[in-house]
Amino acid sequence: MINFKPGNNWTLFLDRDGVLNHQKEGSYIFSWDEFIFYDGVIQSMPVLAKYFKHIFIVTNQRGVGKGLMTEKDLHHIHRNMQKSIELAGGRIDGIYYCTELEAESTCRKPNTGMALKAKEEHPDIDFSQSIMVGNSFSDMEFGRNIGAATVFLTTTKPVVDNNDNRMDAVYKSLADFADAPTPSSLIFSLI
């Protein structure tokens, strides 16, 4: 059970591809043209902005490390993404990405480098008052590794094992997750 009240010092960590936007199976989003928000995501961000003190993106972007796109391409996508969210009344307080190829790289999820960097820049982040939302198991492990609660979105794959203790809650989409809270007390149900 994830239990928290609005107004607390809660932080939301969001994976990007498969959470905010349609991912390209086995490939990367190379340009803003290819970045397509899931239905309801833009409208969900202002809702989430009310509930969370911080909202961060944490995203593995090996496409840069592989030389398939540049960091400049990535920044261009992120500027547009952020602008679209802000125009709709939402907010993203920081975007952390890892372009490295090696699984052992400290910044690559499920390793915790991006969360530690966020905490360095925002020392009031409390990982025990944080939620990681993602569509892959490495996102769930990243959440567990920092001691956060975890929410799995079944946007790209179903939950295979209902007793999988890497996830605290499961939703179909970010829009569903954002609808789940009630203003007085946010209680997310177990799987």
- Spatial contact of 125 and 23, defined as CB atoms under 8 Å apart: no
Q: Which residues are paired to 58 by β-bridges?
A: 96
Alpha-carbon distances, residue 10 vs 80, 104, 148, 181, 186 (angstroms): 26, 29, 10, 13, 11
CB of residue 146 vs Mg ion: minimum separation in angstroms?
Answer: 17
CB of residue 187 vs Mg ion: minimum separation in angstroms?
Answer: 25
State which residue has the least CB distance to Mg ion: 18
Q: CA–CA separation, 99 vs 84, rounded Å?
A: 24
Active site residue 124: no
Nearer to Mg ion, 53 or 108 (CB): 108
Active site residue 15: yes
Using CB under 5 A, list all residues that contact Mg ion: 15, 17-18, 135
Q: Tell which residue, 84, 119, 14, has the closest CA to residue 56.
A: 14
Nearer to Mg ion, 17 or 168 (CB): 17
- Which entry of 15, 73, 139, 168 is annotated as an active-site residue? 15
CB of residue 18 vs Mg ion: minimum separation in angstroms?
Answer: 3
Question: What residues are labeled active site?
Answer: 15, 17
